[in-house]
Every structure is written in structure tokens, then in C-alpha cells.
Amino acid sequence: MSYSVPKIAGEADPEVVGSTTHLWPRWEVFVRPRGGVTHVYSESVHAPDAETALCNARDTYLRRVEGVSLWVVPSDAIARWEPGDDRPRRRTEGSRRFWEAFIRHRRGAQFLHAATIPAVDEFDALALARDTFLTKSDGVEVWVAPSDELVAADPDEAPMLFEPFSDKHYRFARFYDIPEEVGHM
């Protein structure tokens, strides 16, 4: 079995050393926390397919956050914009499809799902997302991905995916008493 290696903008070619893990495509993970109004970017996982990606995302990122919804998006389906990127805004004529737009307003701020927007292509979607959600002075990262590339965990499976974490307080560092001698950690 072989997998194509997704090329990620700005990232060196993956180097394979003694393991084939890196040959698995990368998936970007978004979690909506309990009480949260939107999905928040939670880094990535490697997985051979969407089902495995959802499992890996659940096991990796829901230990520290009480989530109520989980999305994964193949990394190579995402188009990205950052300040300084002056690619032409090509507004191609043609039929529109839906895109998911993700925005980080300031450095250090959470990277949030902003909206589902209709656009012709990735350039159109990036431009629309910037025009709609950013002011001239803010915005450090914008991602768009076709909505049909996004895979959401089945809401019917929420009890099995999310509830088992809700009463496990030992997941959090504050569960543990730090001996005085240790000082600040």
C-alpha cells in the first residue's frame, strides 16, 4: 500500500527514517469545546483515511479539552493566506461551491472557524474570507477548504466520542499536587 505525500506550503519534504508513518497524509483537526460557539484549530494528525483521522484526533486532542464536536480536513485540501502573500485575486467566472473559512486575527490568538462561504475557487474563497472577516490591520492566517472535504464526527456518536472524557480530571495538570520543594513548574 502506498500513499502520496501531501506537499505543505513552506514545509520541507518529509524525510522517511525507519518508519512509514510520515507517508500518511496529514489532517488538520478542529474541535468545538463545550460551551464554545465555534470550532477551534487544534493542530494536526497523520492518518491513512478520514475514519482513522477522526479516531486519532479524538485520542490526541480531546484529552485536554472537553469537546462537543470534531472536524478533520485533509491538509492538502486547504488553501492558505498569510500577510505578504500577494497572489492575484482571481475571481474566476463559474459555478460556486461552498468553502469553510478559518481565520486567525492576531498572532497568539485562537485559529477559528469563521463561516461557510460560497466561492468559485480557492483564490476567490481566500479573497472573500479576507474581505469579509478581516480589517486592513488584522489577520495573520486565513485558510479555506472545500466544504465537502471536511469530515465531521457523527453527532450520533457524541456519547462515545466525547462523554468518556468528561469525568477524568486526572487529565489536567491541576489535578496533581506539586510538592513544595519542586517550586514553580
Judged by the rule CB under 8 A, the positions of this chain that interact with another protein are 1, 19, 21, 24, 45-48, 51-52, 55-56, 58-60, 63, 157, 159-161, 163-164, 167-168, 170
Identify which of residues 21 and 110 has a Cβ nearer to another protein in the complex: 21
**Is residue 34 a contact partner of residue 103, using CB atoms and an 8 Å limit?**
no
Taking the CA atoms of 81, 83, 85 and 91 in sequence, report the sign of the dihedral they define: positive
Shortest distance in whole angstroms from residue 127 CB to another protein: 35
Identify which of residues 59 and 82 has a Cβ nearer to another protein in the complex: 59
DSSP states of 39-95 = -EEEEEEE-SSHHHHHHHHHHHHSSSS-EEEEEEEEGGG-EEE-TT---------S-
Identify which of residues 54 and 103 has a Cβ nearer to another protein in the complex: 54
Taking the CA atoms of 173, 174, 179 and 180 in sequence, report the sign of the dihedral they define: positive
List residues bridging with 44 in a β-sheet. Answer: 28
- Residue 101: Cβ within 10 Å count: 22
Shortest distance in whole angstroms from residue 59 CB to another protein: 4
Shortest distance in whole angstroms from residue 150 CB to another protein: 19
User: Residue 124 has what DSSP assignment?
Assistant: H
Shortest distance in whole angstroms from residue 34 CB to another protein: 16
Q: What is the dihedral of CA 34, 39, 44, 50, to 10 degrees?
A: 90
Identify which of residues 2 and 95 has a Cβ nearer to another protein in the complex: 2
Identify which of residues 51 and 148 has a Cβ nearer to another protein in the complex: 51
Shortest distance in whole angstroms from residue 131 CB to another protein: 37
